[in-house]
Amino acid sequence: DYVPIRQDALRMRKSTKTIVEFTTIINKIPFVFVDAGGQRSQRRKWLQCFESITAILFLAAASDYDRVSLEDRKTNRLLESLEIFDTIVNHDLLIKASKILFLNKIDLLEEKLTISNIKHFFTSFEGDETDSTAVKEFIFQLFAERMDTKKSNGKALYHHYTIATDTENIKVVFRDVKQTILQDRLGSLLLH
């Protein structure tokens, strides 16, 4: 009689096939999360989710630099994430939203660097291919370069390196995200 533990639940995977909205209360503040679905077939439905959005939390697997998409088995997953990120953060409906990038699976990235050379997939990387700090910064810069500075109105791209299965890491990250969103909202209210 096996009884699942918290780590079992954290490692569960279920692909999103529809738009899912859920609300959670964090320190007495309601947060509404909308998961618009990662599959290509769902992307055309995203626009209906963007009305009055406060922040975009974009999650990308940093360790996917050497993997291909499940849908076509050709497209590099990190390149595909970059394209989706570009489309979302530069969309006219999202100019006022805070942009927060989660580069996830940092633990897997660090393991992978010893066996899979990022330079084979991203020839523009000029650092030490085994230096996780250099690789993380390079991947972050790939995303940062996609943000149209004219459309962002000088707003920064906030980013966090995460391990989704590390609950302590996620607690710290979400505390910071909450603070970022609240500061941005307060700033925009003071400007109006």
Percent above pLDDT 70 for the chain? 80
- Give CA–CA dist 127/87, Å, rounded: 28
- Give CA–CA dist 78/84, Å, rounded: 10
Over residues 102-127, the mean pLDDT reads 96
pLDDT, the chain, mean: 83
Is the pLDDT at 130 greater than 90? The verdict is yes
Residue that is written with structure tokens 């595909």 in the block: 80
Percent above pLDDT 90 for the chain? 35
Pick the more confident residue, 122 or 89.
122
Q: How confident is the model at residue 186 (pLDDT cuts 50, 70, 90)?
A: confident
Pick the more confident residue, 52 or 83.
83
Over residues 112-131, the mean pLDDT reads 96
> What's the confidence (pLDDT) of residue 46?
64
Per residue in 4-36, pLDDT (tens digit) is 777 766 666 666 666 777 787 877 777 777 776
> What's the confidence (pLDDT) of residue 13?
62
Over residues 75-89, the mean pLDDT reads 91
Q: How confident is the model at residue 120 (pLDDT cuts 50, 70, 90)?
A: very high
